[in-house]
Amino acid sequence: MKKIIKLLIYGLLTIIPLIFVGIYYTACKLPSVYYVGINDEKNFSLDLFSVSSLSENKEESAQCLNTKSCFADHLETHCATLKFMNLIPIKKVDLIVSKKSEVIPCGTPFGVKLYTKGALVIGTSSVRCLEGFKEPWKSAGMQKGDIIIEANSEKVNNNNDLERIIQNSDGKEISFKVMRENNEFECQLVPLRSMEDGKFRIGIWVRDSSAGIGTLTFCEENRNVFAGLGHGICDIDTTELLPLSRGDIVEAIITDTVKGRPGMPGELKGCFINPESIGQIYANTETGLYGTFEKIPSNTNKIPVAMKQNVKKGSAKILTTIEGSNPELYDINIDSINYDTTIPTQNMKISVTDPRLLEKTGGIVQGMSGSPILQNGTLIGAVTHVFVNNPKKGYAIFSETMLTNSNILFESDYKNAS
């Protein structure tokens, strides 16, 4: 009996610290800043965590300064203690009391035309010249993913600019200004005359634009601002975010659907129906595309944007277009919620439950990214990814995150652009 009691004691002494470590690890992943509706600050809760010890913070804390533009009409800020099971204090958090912002959920397809900043190096090769096969790019230290922004002190706007400068060099050394992971450096190399076509080559493949079709998430009527995709557009060869110089959006329709199945993601196929721009893209970010409309779409039914702690597991609806240009609502389920801000495109795991959508698409397909998710009359997020081995399931991003980034970009890039 004594041995059993000792074992139980040892077991508890081992398990209890592990439980506390798990609790604190989970809490550390939770955000330190939250937006709450008016009169909601005292009812704030997050799964097994809740807040207490509210105190008004007249001078906003440092962690609030970069997020004050998320929701409209910021009223006041409270400092609070985040507690586990309303008992164990975990950490201090800030609750920003705000009026809820309203947006127009879209779910409509749109065409994307992106033009890169400079010429993006997407691959390297050898140049066959009189001396044999040479690699001029290697002596300059260039590599896949680099962005050539200047050549011989001349700005490189596209592939044609780079090609012209190389051919006009007449085989003399060229000085380049290159961007790599947000750091600039200069390098030099000598182009070689190719035995294949007689042109001067430096042994790199470059890209200056990209095009495709995605789904609009929401737009704001008062500022003609839009957000879409819920994730950034990456180059297919480098897998890095395309460095944006400028971009346009155009009208598009869905013409066909390839049904997804395990191991083989489906796809929405579409086409541009009018080459005329209906808006400009100002940012290609990890959390989506952001820009301004020439005019707001005809659908003007505005709904509130949910604050992340108001998103609940359970039934919801996805607004998406799988044929033509008219979106429809389909049933889904929010399986789990993740508040970790380091992986913003995976805030929710979702499952498609609507028999109509499952019959036509098999679940989530490529091109559906950005489709808004609605719950209890609010916009809670947007679809971002499909599970390749189970197309019925996928990830979604909080709409609060997209609204935050949209507002921050509007306050900076949009104003500067105008």
Of the candidates 7, 210, 248, 184, the residue with the CA atom closest to the CA atom of residue 116: 210
From 122, 124, 128, 120, select the one nearest 199 (Cα to Cα).
128
- From CA 198, how far away is CA 219, in angstroms rounded? 51
First to last CA, the chain: 80
State the maximum Cα–Cα separation within the chain, in Å, rounded to a whole number.
93
**Beta-bridge partner residues of 80:** 93
CA 230, CA 289: separation in Å to the nearest integer? 7
CA distance 276 to 180: 33
Does residue 170 have an active-site annotation?
A: no
The single residue of 94, 101, 210, 231 carrying the catalytic annotation is 231
Write down the residue that tokens 């609070």 correspond to.
Answer: 80
Tokens for 379? 């916009």
Pick the catalytic residue from 98, 101, 210, 369: 369
Q: What is the distance between the alpha carbons of residues 132 and 214, in angstroms, rounded to a whole number? A: 45
Residue 207 and residue 234 in contact, taking contact as beta carbons nearer than 8 Å: no
Of the residues 146, 161, 235, 354, only one is catalytic, namely 354
Number of Cβ within a 10 Å radius of residue 376: 13
H helical segments located in 1-52: 2-29
Q: Which residues contact 13 (CB under 8 A, 6 or more apart)?
A: none
Tokens 């634009």 sit on residue: 209
CA dihedral 128, 130, 132, 134 (to 10 degrees): -60
132 is written with which tokens? Answer: 């044999």
Asked whether the CA dihedral 336, 339, 342, 346 is positive or negative, the reply is: positive
Whether 369 sits among the annotated catalytic residues: the reply is yes
Query: Can you say whether the dihedral through the CA atoms of 328, 329, 335, 338 is positive or negative?
Result: positive
Helix (H) or strand (E) holding 60: none
Q: How far apart are CA 126 and CA 120, in angstroms?
A: 18
Q: Where would I find the beta strands (DSSP E) of 221-327?
A: 225-228, 244-258, 267-285, 288-293, 303-304, 314-320
Place of tokens 């909080």: 398
- Catalytic positions are 231, 354, 369
